[in-house]
Structure 1
Amino acid sequence: MVSIYKRGSRLYLQYTVNGKRKQKSTGLDDTPANRKYLRERVIPELERRIESGALAEEARRDEIPKALSHYAAKYLESKEHLKTYWELLQMVKRVEAEFKSTDVDKITRGMVRDWAMGLLKTISPTTTRKYVNVLGGILEMAKDYEAIQVNPATGIKLPGKTAPTRNRTPFSTEEVALILESAAGWFRNYLAVAFYTGARPGEILAIKPEDIDLKRRVIRIERNIRHGKVTTPKTAYSVRSVPILDPLLPYLRGQLMQAGEWLFESPRGGHYNGARKVMYHWQNLMERLGIEYRDLYTTRHTFITHMLMSGELSVLELAQIVGHKNAQQIMQSYARFINEQHLKISREIDPFNKKATDKVADTLG
């Protein structure tokens, strides 16, 4: 089964594993003593491992791809159906750039944690966790294909918030008025839709004229644009009808007069590929007005917060307008912005009003 042959002055062993012929150098010179040593000590052990299948298993494992890019491709293939595929693709590219020279079976938990700690210096803990999860997904794919036995990215603990959070403090009434007065053309109309509906940037860009019913005073939100692709909104609850409030009407009518297939059309025709173009105008406007910078998404937070403070509708109604799953989601996200509103209530309220008490008593009576 195992034979000895000579190449130059060195001894080699020849044998077959998984139907493939193997030739391995022993590193020994061709002498009678070395040949005897191989026959009596090395070859018996090698034949035992061949017969038991241990050598075949080792050979099989050696043939399994170890490059992280191999499993990154498989991971992406499994995510092609997701709306977030483009975002995942960018994250995978960053992961590959970090670990491209390291085989998956050489990646350790310490390496993963050090990488994550480095990310925390420039991005938020939430985003860092997303990157760790993407790496974990790739390595889990490698585990499924038996390239590794244990996923080193599983259970990595990260510290709390170490990066500054984005300022999304709602704009004041005065700031909203100043922003709308200072913007012009389609951009002012866009901002009016944003401030008076609380719709997300991609949802606004995906509105078509036929989605607007001025007679019923309703806008139908059923699409979203992200990275140039028209998809459905963020969640099932995000498909909704939004009431057109009085202050929005003139802006909406003005935009409808210049609309094409889309309410907000790119200068080159068709829809915008995403909010990047809007962000360019937004950043310039914030700088020109000297208003403390908040990102474009803050228009949504501003609408929700001011509607909560107005008391004109229930939290559940507001959740339905902005496409949240339930009222709890609204309160968890925005209650911090309406502190001390309870102190503004009328002091004339009497919870034990005699008329109210008598009415209840009569009902029970």
Structure 2
Amino acid sequence: MGKIAERPETGKLFFDFRFGGKRCREQTALDNTPANRKKLENILKRIEAEITLGTFEYHKFFPNSPRAKEFTKQAELMRTREAHDTPLFSTFAADWLGEMNIQWRRSHASTVEGTLKNYLNPHFGEKEVGCITKKDILDFRASLAKVTTRSGKHLSASRINRIMTPLRMILSEAANRFEFSSPYHGIKSLRVPRTDVEPFGIDEVKQIIETVRADFRNYYTVRFFTGMRTGEIDGLQWDHVDFKRRQILVRQSLVQGRLEYTKNDGSFRTIEMSQPVMDALNDQKKATGNMEFVFCTRTGGPLNHNNVTKRVWYPLLRHLGLRKRRPYQTRHTAATLWLAAGENPEWIARQMGHTTTEMLFRVYSRYVPNLTRRDGSAFERLLLTEFDAKTDPSKESD
């Protein structure tokens, strides 16, 4: 156990403790007074606690000490020795991807594969996974901010974070397996600006449904009044439409041309059909009832959402003079229309596939000013009532 002692020749206090198998004495400029002793004893407690936890860094407490340089050099040599026992980043990443594939949807695995191929392996592939430093990571992230897309725009903070996530996971797993400290520790994700939803008003919805080409009228009616995601409606099959109970069973999603499990467990849900949706699906059954998919091509195959967006959706918005918005805004529209109609928020959350109502109030409430009377009007009425009663005796109760 360390101690605080006095040098007789100077009367100054010094630290006396053991670290790394060596006795360490570090001089201070403080006189031997009770206050100074207490101050240094508290520092010594911190030092010993960090030594016990294995987090002590000599140079942080004694930056000018020769011992600091000695211990820092030893730590670097030790880390380098350990790092050289680790595989190349590209090799370890390939093994890690193979192990993780079984847990992921095919679309997510494909995205991670693309991130490794296009970004991570070109930069880190030939480095030993244990030799990658925090500076390497930060330099890489800074380089991503300079990358431009085909449209000439820089990568967004959200996109950069998605690229960095597999890197963080790979380094964390490697650190656990090869027993070194992950260099990613302490690096926070970039702050992502909040994006605003842009739902359509009921008049705009009516205009779109009345104007869209006839073979897509039922499709957009169902999109606007169920809040289904693109993959969910494109992957909807007649087996999952229950006309008797007036329900749509969301059990799968079309992702990159393949049917997969829903986005998450909450998305596995049952949607109640309103009358417009019921009518649209009954009408659609006349056209595609003998096919597997509810909305499909002439040959019965599933729709390609990119083609539909480019050839039907965007031209329609331009024709109507409406602001260009992604088809996903039909989902936001369903939520705001339900809220504006006064539907129970818990019921709406279930229809949307949300496990709680938190997102509903956080994302959509501003489009419905009187939702749960949170616009201040109830408070204003209370004040008016109370002040009127006090200023007008005729309004006071007997």
Q: TM-score, normalised by structure 2?
A: 0.63
Aligned to 2:351: 321
Which letter maps to 1:112? I
Answer yes or no: is the 8 Å Cα contact 1:75–1:137 preserved in 2.
no
Aligned to 1:104: 129
Q: What is the 5 A alignment of 1:1-365?
A: 62=84, 64-66=86-88, 68-81=89-102, 82-83=104-105, 84-93=108-117, 94-100=119-125, 102-119=127-144, 122-146=154-178, 149-161=180-192, 166=195, 168-259=197-288, 260-272=291-303, 275-280=305-310, 281-311=312-342, 313-339=343-369, 342=373
Q: 1:77 to 1:185 in 2, by over 3 A?
A: farther
CA deviations over 1:14-42 (Å, ceiling 9, x no partner): xxxxxxxxxxxxxxxxxxxxxxxxxxxxx
- CA positional deviation for 1:144: 4.4
- CA positional deviation for 1:174: 1.8
- Partner SS for 2:287: coil
**Please, which runs of 5 or more residues in structure 1 have no aligned partner?**
1-57, 351-365
More displaced, 332-341 or 177-186? Answer: 332-341
- CA positional deviation for 1:200: 0.9
Distance in 1 (alpha carbons) for counterparts of 2:165 and 2:345: 34
Distance in 2 (alpha carbons) for counterparts of 1:256 and 1:219: 14
Distance in 1 (alpha carbons) for counterparts of 2:137 and 2:240: 47
CA deviations over 1:261-317 (Å, ceiling 9, x no partner): 111123453324x63333323233333333222212111111001111110x21111
- CA positional deviation for 1:256: 1.6
Q: 1:166 to 1:293 in 2, by over 3 A?
A: farther
Which letter maps to 2:315? N
Which letter maps to 1:261? E
Q: 1:140 to 1:289 in 2, by over 3 A?
A: same
Q: 1:123 to 1:104 in 2, by over 3 A?
A: same
Answer yes or no: is the 8 Å Cα contact 2:212–2:316 preserved in 1.
yes
Distance in 2 (alpha carbons) for counterparts of 1:188 and 1:120: 42
Answer yes or no: is the 8 Å Cα contact 1:109–1:153 preserved in 2.
yes
Answer yes or no: is the 8 Å Cα contact 1:221–1:240 preserved in 2.
yes
- Partner SS for 2:254: strand
Distance in 2 (alpha carbons) for counterparts of 1:223 and 1:124: 30
- Equivalent pairs counted in the alignment come to 287
Aligned to 2:56: none
Distance in 1 (alpha carbons) for counterparts of 2:319 and 2:145: 32
Which letter maps to 1:254? D
CA deviations over 1:158-194 (Å, ceiling 9, x no partner): 44336xx655211111221222122214433221111
Q: 1:326 to 1:157 in 2, by over 3 A?
A: closer
Distance in 2 (alpha carbons) for counterparts of 1:62 and 1:95: 20
Q: 1:64 to 1:346 in 2, by over 3 A?
A: closer
Answer yes or no: is the 8 Å Cα contact 2:157–2:192 preserved in 1.
yes
Which structure exhibits the higher relative contact order, with contacts defined as CA atoms closer than 8 Å and separated by 6 or more residues? 1
Alpha-carbon RMSD across the aligned residues, in angstroms, is 3.2
Q: 1:99 to 1:277 in 2, by over 3 A?
A: farther
Distance in 1 (alpha carbons) for counterparts of 2:143 and 2:258: 32
Distance in 1 (alpha carbons) for counterparts of 2:183 and 2:131: 10
Aligned to 1:52: none
Distance in 2 (alpha carbons) for counterparts of 1:268 and 1:95: 41
Q: TM-score, normalised by structure 1?
A: 0.69
Distance in 1 (alpha carbons) for counterparts of 2:120 and 2:285: 44
CA deviations over 1:223-252 (Å, ceiling 9, x no partner): 111122212212222222211111223322
Which letter maps to 1:305? T
Distance in 1 (alpha carbons) for counterparts of 2:272 and 2:83: 62
Which letter maps to 1:278? V
Q: 1:284 to 1:69 in 2, by over 3 A?
A: farther
Which letter maps to 1:275? H
- CA positional deviation for 1:322: 1.4
Distance in 1 (alpha carbons) for counterparts of 2:205 and 2:198: 13
Q: 1:113 to 1:199 in 2, by over 3 A?
A: same
